[in-house]
Structure 1
Amino acid sequence: MNYNQVQKEIAQEISNTLGQVDSESVAGLVEEIKKAEKVFFVGVGRVLLSLEAVAKRLAHLGINTYVVGQITEPAITEKDLLIVGSGSGESAFPLIIAKKAKQYKARVAHIGANPNCSMKEFSDHFVRIPVSTKLQLPNEIPSVQPMTSLFEQSLLLLGDSISLMLIREQNIDMPSLWKYHANLE
C-alpha cells in the first residue's frame, strides 16, 4: 500500500463524514459559543488533543476558552458553555464534568457520534459526527483507520469549520487575528 492511496482514502472518509454532519446543529453550536462568556472544553485521549486545538483556534478569535484541568482554569458559571467531546458519550471523566457543569447552571454542548448515550442527560445541545465508535453501533460511517481516528480528525476539522464560520459572520480581518497568537515563541 502506498501513501497516495492511503491519504486519498482518509481524505475521502473525512469529506464524507463532515458532509453528513447536520448544518443546523452546527449553527446552533456557533450560537451557543457566541452567547457564552467563557467556553470550556473536556475530553480524553486523542479527542482531548483535537479539542485543545479547537480551544486554541477559538482563542485566536478573541473567545475566552479554557480546557478543563488546565492550571489557569476559572470557575464555570451560568453564563458559560462546556463543550464535551466524546464519540460514545459514555466516557467517565467527561460525564462527571458535564454533570458538575450543570450543577453550576452552565450550558453543555456534546459533540459525539452516539445520540442515545449517557451524556444526553446533561447536554443542552448535540452535534453528531456519525462515525464508528468503540460501541460499533448501526448507522455509523465505517473507517479503514484504526480505532476512532476518523472521529478525532472530524472533530478537529469541525472546530476549524466553526472558526471560519465565526470569522465570516463577524467579518473579521484575518491578518488582525495575529494579535491573539502566542508571541513568546
Structure 2
Amino acid sequence: MANYQNATNVITDELTATLSNINDNEVEQLLEEIEKADKVFFVGVGRVLLSLKSIAKRLAHLGVNTYVVGQTTEPAITENDLLIVGSGSGETAFPLIIAQKAKQYGASVAHIGSNPNSSMSEYADVSVRIPASSKIDTPEEVHSVQPMKSLFEQTLLLLGDTLALMMVKERDIEIESLWEYHANLE
C-alpha cells in the first residue's frame, strides 16, 4: 500500500525541481506584460484551465482586470490587452485558435508551456517554460511519476501564486487591503 508521506515527498520534490528550473527573466517579462495590460485574458483546456482560473482569480484580488475566454461577461480584447495561454505542449487546438485571434486584434500573447518549439511560439510575444513532463517528452524536462500531466498543472498554479506574491512585494501591498477585492456575496 502507498504511504502518504512518501507520496507527498515525491510530489513536493518534483515541484521544487520544476519551479527551480523556470527562467527568472521569462517570469519577469510575463509580470511586466501583466502590469502594463488593461485587461488580462486566460485560455486553456482541461485541468490547465482550472489552474488558469485560479490565477485569474488571484490576480483579480490584486486589482488586475482578468477574464477567462468564454465566460459570460468576457469583453472584447484590444491592442492594450494580454492573452495568457496555458498549454503544456503548445499544440492544443483551441488555445492556438484563440491566440491567433488575439493577435488579429493586436493583443499581446504570453504562452506558459513546456515546449518552447511549439506552434504557439508563432503567436507568443512572451513565453515562460515550465520544464515538466508534457505530451512531448524531452530530456531537459522534470519527469514525473504522477498521473497524466499533473506536475505541469500544479506548477502552473504555483507559478501564478508566485506572480501574485511578486506583485504584492513590487507594489508594497498590505495583505489585509486585498480583502476589498475578495468575493463578498458568500
Deviation at 1:140, TM superposition (A): 1.2
Provide the residue aligned with 2:174 in structure 1: 173
Q: Which runs of 5+ in 2 are unaligned?
A: none
Q: For 1:21-71, what per-residue CA distance to the aligned partner results, in whole angstroms no more than 9, with x for missing partners?
A: 000100010000000000000000000000000000000000000000000
Distance 1:43 1:130 in 2: 18
Q: How does 1:123-162 map to 2 (within 5 A)?
A: 123-162=124-163
Deviation at 1:136, TM superposition (A): 1.8
Deviation at 1:137, TM superposition (A): 2.5
> Could you say what secondary structure the match of 2:136 adopts?
coil
Distance 2:174 2:25 in 1: 26
> Could you say what secondary structure the match of 2:96 adopts?
helix
Q: How does 1:60-139 map to 2 (within 5 A)?
A: 60-139=61-140
TM superposition score normalised by structure 2 = 0.99
Query: Percent identity, aligned pairs only?
Result: 66
TM superposition score normalised by structure 1 = 0.99
Matched, 1:25 2:26: yes
> Could you say what secondary structure the match of 1:139 adopts?
coil
> Could you say what secondary structure the match of 2:52 adopts?
helix
AA aligned to 1:85 is: G
Distance 1:157 1:11 in 2: 12
> Could you say what secondary structure the match of 1:77 adopts?
coil
Deviation at 1:134, TM superposition (A): 1.3
Matched, 1:41 2:42: yes
AA aligned to 1:91 is: T
Runs of 4+ in 1 over 6 A off after TM superposition: none
Distance 1:136 1:27 in 2: 26
Distance 1:110 1:138 in 2: 21
Count matched residues. 185
Distance 1:133 1:127 in 2: 14
Matched, 1:164 2:165: yes
Distance 1:150 1:122 in 2: 25
Distance 2:138 2:14 in 1: 18
